[in-house]
């Protein structure tokens, strides 16, 4: 009969750091970080969208003439303002938001400089409407109804009409205020649109028809940072205001 073999285990002393259990990887946390980064990238990168799209959807100088010709045949009230904006889009203007002392009425900074609000003021002047004078008159009579954002004690003819927030309030008070919409059919040539950018800054532009086969599509003439543009960017930012203005209402 075979004897059972007895096995003896000896205790082995381990000298060294205590073994660490391997932690389970948290894959969910990684996806959360990636998602947050993607959202932040999209939000802060939104101001670049018009610049990127402009390379594909901007229009040529020749197309400006065609669109203006189309507007000259239109009976729409804002057609003349839209035509003026299209002609203005051909100009080479350096973006400059500085404060300048200018004449009154019909005062202006040098023609080679300007910003978003100057597009509105200069194009309206081509339709015989001087927003510098009209904004000043309304602010002089109702100064407390305008945004109190610049610590001003009263109206300033040099800059008031060049501030988007003041233009927005003027159009709200004196023009036709339309509900902001995401539907292209709600916008007509000559409409004024105010956006809120990702930086919380206000921006403003004029609705015009698109080139060639896009004449029924609302494009925008505006001056955003580096240059003046005619492009398809109406819905690229959050629309804060939509207005129509064809001159002072009869009293």
For residue 6, pLDDT over 60 is answered with no
Residue in this structure with the two tokens 């959360």, named with its chain if needed: 32
Q: Where are the domains of the chain?
A: 61-244
Short-list 181, 179, 137, CA closest to 160: 137
Q: What is the pLDDT of residue 192?
A: 98
Residue 49 pLDDT: 47
Residue 42: both structure tokens together: 């999209």
pLDDT, position 36: 64
Residue 166 corresponds to which tokens in the numbers above?
């003041």
Per-residue pLDDT, 29:
57
pLDDT digits (tens, 9 = 90+) for 80-120: 999 999 999 999 999 999 999 999 999 999 999 999 999 99
Q: Which two tokens stand for residue 24?
A: 């389970």
Q: In which band, very low, low, confident or very high, does the pLDDT at 62 lie, cut at 50, 70 and 90?
A: confident
Q: How far apart are CA 138 and CA 141, in angstroms?
A: 5
Does residue 77 surpass a pLDDT of 60?
yes
Give the Cα separation of 1 and 109 in Å (integer).
Answer: 117
**In this structure, are strands 113-114 and 94-95 parallel, antiparallel, or unpaired?**
parallel
Q: For residue range 208-232, list pLDDT tens digits in order.
A: 999 987 888 999 999 998 889 999 9
**How much is the average pLDDT of 50-77?**
73
Strand pairing class (238-244; 176-178): antiparallel
Which pairing describes strands 227-231 and 218-224: parallel, antiparallel, or unpaired?
Answer: antiparallel
The tens digit of pLDDT for each residue in 139-149 reads 999 999 999 99
| pLDDT for the residue 134 | 98
User: Hey, what CATH topology would domain 61-244 get?
Assistant: endopeptidase fold (from Nostoc punctiforme) (3.90.1720)
pTM: 0.77
- Most distant CA pair in the chain: distance in Å? 126
Q: Is the pLDDT of residue 183 over 70?
A: yes
Q: Tell me: pLDDT of 42 over 70.
A: no
């Amino acid at each position: 009969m075979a004897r059972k073999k007895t096995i003896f285990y000896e205790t082995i002393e381990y000298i060294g750091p205590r073994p660490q259990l391997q932690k389970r990887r948290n894959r969910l946390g990684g996806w959360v970080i990636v998602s947050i980064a993607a959202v932040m990238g999209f939000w802060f990168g939104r101001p670049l969208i018009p610049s990127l799209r402009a390379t594909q959807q901007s229009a040529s100088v020749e197309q400006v003439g065609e669109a203006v010709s189309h507007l000259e045949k239109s009976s729409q009230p804002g057609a003349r303002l839209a035509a003026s904006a299209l002609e203005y889009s051909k100009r080479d203007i350096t973006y400059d938001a500085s404060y300048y002392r200018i004449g009154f009425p019909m005062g202006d900074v040098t023609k080679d400089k300007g910003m978003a609000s100057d597009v509105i003021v200069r194009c309206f002047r081509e339709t015989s409407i001087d927003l510098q004078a009209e904004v000043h008159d309304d602010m002089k009579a109702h100064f407390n109804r305008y945004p109190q954002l610049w610590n001003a004690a009263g109206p300033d003819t040099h800059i008031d009409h060049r501030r988007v927030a003041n233009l927005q309030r003027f159009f709200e008070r004196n023009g036709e205020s339309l509900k902001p919409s995401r539907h292209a059919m709600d916008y007509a040539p000559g409409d004024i649109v105010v956006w809120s950018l990702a930086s919380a800054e206000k921006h403003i532009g004029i609705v015009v028809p698109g080139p060639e086969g896009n004449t029924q599509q609302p494009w925008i003439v505006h001056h955003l940072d580096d240059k003046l543009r005619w492009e398809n960017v109406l819905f690229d930012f959050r629309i804060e205001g939509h207005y129509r203005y064809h001159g002072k209402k009869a009293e």
